[in-house]
Amino acid sequence: MGLKELKKLADTLDDSGKQELIFFLQSRTKCVSSSVRAIDEIQEQKHKDGLVCPHCQTHAVVRFGKYVVKTRAGEVKRQRYRCKSCRQTFNDLTNTPLQRTRRPHLWVRFIEFMIEGYSLRKCAEELLGEVTHVTLFYWRHKILAALKQMPTEAFQGIVEMDETYFLYSEKGKRKIIERKPRKRGGKAIYRGISKDQVCVLVARDRQKMTYSGVLGGGRIQTTKLDEAIGGHLSDSNVLCTDAWRAFSSYANAKGLAHYRFKSDGKQRVKGVYHIQNVNSYHSRLKKWMDRFNGVATKYLQHYLAWFRYIDSKEYENTASNKKNMLVKSCLFAVTDTNEKLRLATYFC
């Protein structure tokens, strides 16, 4: 259909229909221009220390012509580079979640939906079926594979630390051989903490610097604890934890000042020392996770990274935050292909 016929057709709409059409077109042109801006910013931030080859990390890089990308706004020319050392070519989106995408304009909207926490089906609907929810599943996990790499800086002062548990899940796997599948999250087979439960550790200082990581099946072990957060702690930190023994022996071994609190649901405080911030982080996390009806354990770390991101000060759904989330996730190397994501096994 040509533009002329389209205009004629638009003219047959009533006033509210026309208004809706205006909003639709506005949203479309806005996301095209914001995707162009986002990609420009990815280019600037990625190369802030000069051009680096994503394949061999050397600086001996030259510009190597342009290539054409078809976008909704028409054809866009983008820079290609070549490494003089390994002779491979690359562009600004190589090894980013946006690598080889033909729909950069839709990613900006998709990020918006991720911040809102829409289901994949709802996202597909909002994108008017231009991308299936299956493809969006991979988009989601490519973004999360990047966010997962956002570093936790060294903790300052008081550090609240507590563990929480998620049921081990093989959701999405076609054949579950070892045990009967649970429906929609379900209940643990064993009472108490067992291998059936996956331990997630959250540590948070008062500046809200947060570590959240999957530690593995069953109860916390002191060695795992050190692997997870040892690098973020120094002897100037004061640990506040629940009464679990592993925390005490860990604090002793590290020579850290340590306050323990019973986790019996009653709020306990010793002056400025308490674990209320980390406990409320846990409950926000659990509540937010409910929307997914249980996630596969192999992706649990991705979801923890997602929540950590939206729970930080950057979560508000503003235009600049949306762009930032996309730009940031393109600053980490993501080489996960759809195939690799699908076949990933339990990792932690």
Q: Which residues contribute to the site for Zn ion (CB under 5 A)? A: 53, 55-56, 83, 85-86
Contact 111, 127 (CB under 8 A): no
Q: How far is the CB of 331 from Zn ion (least distance, A)?
A: 18
Instruction: Choose between 86 and 344: whose C-beta lies nearer to Zn ion.
Output: 86
Are 93 and 101 spatial neighbours (Cβ–Cβ below 8 Å)?
yes
Q: In terms of CB distance, is 53 or 136 closer to Zn ion?
A: 53
Q: How far is the CB of 59 from Zn ion (least distance, A)?
A: 10
Nearby residues of 203 by Cβ (< 8 Å), 6 or more positions away:
155, 159, 160, 161, 210, 211, 212, 229, 232, 278
For 178, the token pair is 């070892």
Nearer to Zn ion, 53 or 334 (CB): 53
Supply the minimum distance, in Å, between the C-beta of residue 94 and Zn ion.
Answer: 11
Count of CB atoms within 10 A of residue 60's CB? Answer: 13
Kindly tell me which of 57 and 293 has the beta carbon lying closer to Zn ion: 57
In the bound state with Zn ion, the residue whose beta carbon lies nearer, of 85 and 101, is: 85
Supply the DSSP string of 196-232, one letter for each residue.
TEEEEEEEEETT--EEEEEEEESS--HHHHHHHHGGG
CB 210 within 8 A of CB 152: yes
Cβ of residue 45: shortest distance to Zn ion, in angstroms?
20
Q: How many residues does this entry show for the chain?
A: 348
CB of 62 to Zn ion, least distance (A): 11
Rounded CA gap, 322 and 140, in Å? 14
Q: What is the nearest approach in angstroms of Zn ion to the Cβ of residue 61?
A: 7
| C-alpha span between 221 and 215 (Å, rounded) | 9
d(CA 144, CA 325): 10
Name the minimum Å distance from CB 64 to Zn ion.
12
Closer to Zn ion by Cβ: residue 56 or 189: 56
Q: How do the residues of the chain divide into helix, strand and coil, expressed in percent and rounded to 5?
A: 40, 20, 40
CA–CA separation, 145 and 136 (whole Å): 14
Name the residue nearer to Zn ion (CB basis): 86 or 188.
86
